[in-house]
Structure 1
């Protein structure tokens, strides 16, 4: 059992924190909106009124916030994690951010005796609720093993992928694959509907063959129903694809399909759909096909 300070109780963070409570850990959570803190307390957690309050007695701190600047705000400053967590505290950053920012903040943490690992997650809201997330972890081997039992409360596939920043690099690749797959599923659904095929039957048979994938399993039905309640928002995937395209350019790697998908995600966001689930790429396919409802 660990005392966990949890920062960021959003779509992913709140169910992760709840699963930590269910696993027997003591969880003190902080979020910018009080409503989410109240929900954590209702599940048996403790509420904090600041980042400093959340981390001061923690053995392990987990942060999961939207972007690189948000992680910097969590870590730095008088009220931040590095100034208020005790030396020897483990910091697991489960946010999806730029790898270079992760490396820089981990180095700053090390200077004050805080042991940082980057551990972005994949699996969406449902995976967070089920505690079945895939977690790609970067950092020192000893640090990763020390926090493995905490990670096992929120994920099923936990893999140490290399030194600090490696987790973020693997997450960038994950987001590239997910976005491309969503785009192809969206195109397939619009294609099937144009030919008056029973989409429910088509999804079933496609999912059972070589075309089978998690997007078909988890999102195709809601996409066909035009239900885009956010499990992972377009705004966030747009941000992640910006990380991918930038990192690929820096490494001299060509990602032509990924770059196109990034443009499509950006166009969907520009149409005012940033708050929808990323599976709303289907709306853009419909628009481009002249079949908007």
Structure 2
């Protein structure tokens, strides 16, 4: 996709959840001609309200778009949306490009890319990282894997989504890098929650621990964004470490043992549940007059 004709490319977005909805909204506000679909009609309506076009099916998005971005929950959904019945490839045409924003195991990317290639469709993996504000402001980190020629064709669009675009290697390598990042982040977060209880037992506040870490060797993005992670903890539903489990699954394909990640995945639900209870208990109680 040449920068000079970027404005003529029609972009389709499939998957308008917490991450995808923010990105799609930003793309519309940035002037990208966008058609979007999600199984939740309310999510589609938000994009229409922002100025985009809503679709009633994956087929409609595929038929109207030149580049399709997929941002769904997991490997099963990626396979279904791209290569399943009534998926993208069933209605695709040669020359289209599919960008996978979902964070999944690299084997999933290779499988859907092979299926896409048979239809003359190119595919790259481009998982993203950042806060909700980053999604709306186009300041995400975008990690990209795939053929360099295809990546460069998509670069103007990727740079609209994020101001930190890093091409790390061939297909699937971006997912490996994202899973590595998330495993480090989750492990750091859980260790910090645990040690905050130790500090509290001696009367040292969380703010003071973070202030000391800031000028010492334990400084981290996790501690700098402590409130953001607590907000995520309060909203969490179900498995609290799905992407560590993805890293473990991908590691099994290379006969790599990750004992610390395995332990982290096992204890994550209890630590996060405890943190959630702590946060709930610290909230001011509402009193009737």
TM norm. shorter chain > 0.5 = yes
CA shift, 1:247, in A, is 2.1
Output one character per residue of 1:126-160: Cα deviation in whole Å (capped at 9) or x when no partner.
Answer: 43233222222111110011101111111122111
Residue 228 in 1 paired to residue 226 in 2? no
Question: Helix, strand or coil for the counterpart of 2:233?
Answer: coil
Question: Equivalent residue for 2:245?
Answer: 242
Partner of 1:178: 185
Alpha-carbon distance change, 227 to 153 in structure 1, aligned in 2, over 3 angstroms: closer
Return 5+ residue gaps in structure 2 as ranges. Answer: 1-6, 282-289
Task: Classify 1:286/1:133 alpha carbon distance in 2 versus 1 (closer, same or farther; 3 Å).
Answer: closer
Provide the C-alpha distance between the structure 1 equivalents of 2:258 and 2:71, rounded to a whole number of angstroms: 27
For residue 39 of structure 1, report the CA deviation from its aligned partner: 0.8
Deviations 1:170-189 (A, max 9, x none): 12111211111111221232
Query: 1:40-119, aligned counterparts within 5 Å?
Result: 40-119=47-126
C-alpha spacing 1:286/1:49, structure 2 compared with 1 (3 Å): closer
RMSD over aligned Cα, in angstroms? Answer: 2.5
193-202 or 113-122, larger mean C-alpha shift? 193-202
Structure 1 unaligned spans of 5+: 269-280
**Alignment partners' CA distance in 2, 1:148 and 1:5:** 16
Count residues with an aligned counterpart.
Answer: 274
Q: Deviations over 1:12-42 (max 9, x none)?
A: 0011011111222111111111111111111
| C-alpha contact 1:134 1:155 (8 A) present in aligned 2 | yes
Cα distance, 1:56–1:199 mapped onto 2, change above 3 Å: same
Aligned CA distance change for structure 1 residues 195 and 286 (closer, same or farther; 3 Å): farther
- Per the alignment, residue 278 of structure 1 pairs with none
Q: Distance in 1 between matches of 2:120 and 2:151?
A: 16
Q: Is the 1:132–1:156 contact (alpha carbons within 8 Å) kept by the matching residues of 2? A: yes
CA distance in 1, matches of 2:172, 2:228: 35
Structure 2: distance between partners of 1:97 and 1:117: 13
Deviation at 1:285, TM superposition (A): 6.7
Distance 1:66 1:258, change over 3 A: same
Off by >6 Å, runs of 4+ in structure 1: none
**What corresponds to 1:252 in structure 2?**
255
- Aligned partners of 1:235, 1:152: CA distance in 2, in Å? 33
Separation in 1 of the partners of 2:91 and 2:232?
Answer: 43
Offset, 1:78? 4.4
The structure with the larger Rg is 2
- TM-score normalised by L of structure 1: 0.85
